[in-house]
Structures are given as structure tokens and as C-alpha cells.
């Protein structure tokens, strides 16, 4: 079984589409998408030879040749023309930015992004390019992860609060998002007991307002 983080990403993939998973590593997600009839076909992209061999082994072991296709590629550089949905997960913001900067975002129906760092910077990137955040999820899988679905459709730039916390998450206010905010607040208070900084005080107030107003 795949992790809750990868499962949540899989749940945001529309059925019967062709997917490109950038930085597939173990290829668990591509195999899951095909084995559960979610995706028609998945390209499992890798920039490094070791993980690419890992992808090939997983594909062979699961008899998914022709359904999960290993691709040696920096980001989407070698993406075929039939790709609908792009997944970029388990990487830091700077790698994600490099991948987005180097591709034609308009070519794809939408992207699913799960950044391990600086999720607000991902949203700022989307906002600066006037792209649209179509959906967002928070998932707990030992840590809290945020998943963003965005497309190249036009959207006016998002507000600072939307960039920090997510426009869809702020609107939906589901249980996991509230738990994530409460956890962030607890951590910030612990840090600020030692650091005692004004910027932390302001952030603490901001999260308290979001939680209790």
C-alpha cells in the first residue's frame, strides 16, 4: 500500500488521463495509479540513474510495461505530447521552481504539487504567474503535507493570506487544515518561548485569529 501522502495525491488525479510523475524514484505512485484504473498511462520521470533503475525494476516486478513508462528526463524536458496531468511531489521549492520554469505550463491540463519546503513560495510562484489554484489538501503522514492543484488558467494574483495559507484551504476549513494550523501554532509558541521575537508574536496572533474567529 502507498503512503497517505501519495494516496491523497492519487485522489486528485482525474480518471482516464495520461500522467507524468516528475521525480518518480520508487515509482509507487505511477504503479498505484495504473493498477487502480485511475490513470490510463503514467510516465515515470527521473533525472538520476539509480532511481530510474528503481523505476524500471518496480515496473517489471508489477508487469506494468507499456502502462508505466520510465523516462530519463530533467523535469518535463522529455515529456511526450499526450501528457494531461503533471505530478511533482516530494521535492523542495527550488527544484519545483526549476521544473516549472523549464516547461510550458500551458501545455498541461493541471499540475499537482507537493513541496517538502516553502509551500507559500509555491503559491507565490503560482500567483505571480496569474495561474489558478483549483484545489488544495492537507494530509497528515507523520508530518503535515500540503498538495496544490493548479492550472495555467488566468487568475488575478492571490492575497498575502491566501499565499500563506492557501485560498481553497482557507475557504474549506476542513478538519485536517484546522489540525495543521493548531499544530503550527503549538510549534511556533514553543520556538518563541526561547526566541521571543516580534515576527513570531505576529504570526502567532495571525494563526490564533484564523483558528478562533
Find residue 17's DSSP bridge partners.
39
11 makes contact with ligand SAM (CB under 6 A)? no
Give CA 62 to chain center in angstroms.
Answer: 25
Binding part of the chain for ligand SAM, among 32-40, 86-94, 139-147, 185-193 by CB under 6 A, reads 86-94
Q: Which of 74, 82, 153, 208 binds ligand SAM (CB under 6 A)?
A: 74
Residues 160-179 that bind ligand SAM (CB under 6 A): none
Q: Which of 19, 86, 99, 163 binds ligand SAM (CB under 6 A)?
A: 99
Distance of closest approach, residue 152 Cβ to ligand SAM, in angstroms: 20
47 makes contact with ligand SAM (CB under 6 A)? yes
Distance of closest approach, residue 148 Cβ to ligand SAM, in angstroms: 14
33 makes contact with ligand SAM (CB under 6 A)? no
Q: Can you give the binding site for ligand SAM, defined by CB under 6 A? A: 22-25, 45-48, 51, 74-75, 89-91, 95, 99
Amino acid at each position: 500500500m502507498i503512503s497517505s501522502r501519495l494516496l491523497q495525491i492519487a485522489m486528485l488525479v482525474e480518471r482516464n488521463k495520461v500522467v507524468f510523475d516528475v521525480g518518480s524514484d520508487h515509482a509507487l505512485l505511477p504503479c498505484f495509479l495504473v493498477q487502480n484504473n485511475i490513470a490510463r498511462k503514467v510516465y515515470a520521470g527521473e533525472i538520476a540513474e539509480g532511481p530510474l533503475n528503481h523505476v524500471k525494476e518496480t515496473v517489471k516486478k508489477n508487469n506494468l510495461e507499456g502502462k508505466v513508462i520510465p523516462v530519463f528526463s530533467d523535469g518535463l524536458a522529455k515529456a511526450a505530447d499526450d501528457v494531461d496531468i503533471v505530478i511533482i511531489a516530494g521535492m523542495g521549492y527550488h527544484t519545483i521552481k526549476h521544473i516549472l520554469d523549464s516547461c510550458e505550463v500551458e501545455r498541461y491540463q493541471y499540475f499537482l504539487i507537493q513541496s517538502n519546503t516553502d509551500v507559500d513560495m509555491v503559491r507565490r510562484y503560482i500567483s505571480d504567474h496569474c495561474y489558478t489554484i483549483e484545489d488544495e489538501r492537507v494530509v497528515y503522514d507523520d508530518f503535515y503535507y500540503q498538495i496544490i492543484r493548479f492550472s495555467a488558467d488566468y487568475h488575478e494574483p492571490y492575497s498575502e493570506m491566501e499565499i500563506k495559507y492557501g485560498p481553497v484551504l482557507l475557504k474549506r476549513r476542513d478538519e485536517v487544515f484546522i489540525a495543521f494550523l493548531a499544530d503550527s501554532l503549538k510549534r511556533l509558541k514553543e520556538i518563541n518561548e526561547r526566541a521571543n521575537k516580534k515576527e513570531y508574536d505576529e504570526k502567532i496572533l495571525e494563526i490564533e485569529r484564523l483558528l478562533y474567529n
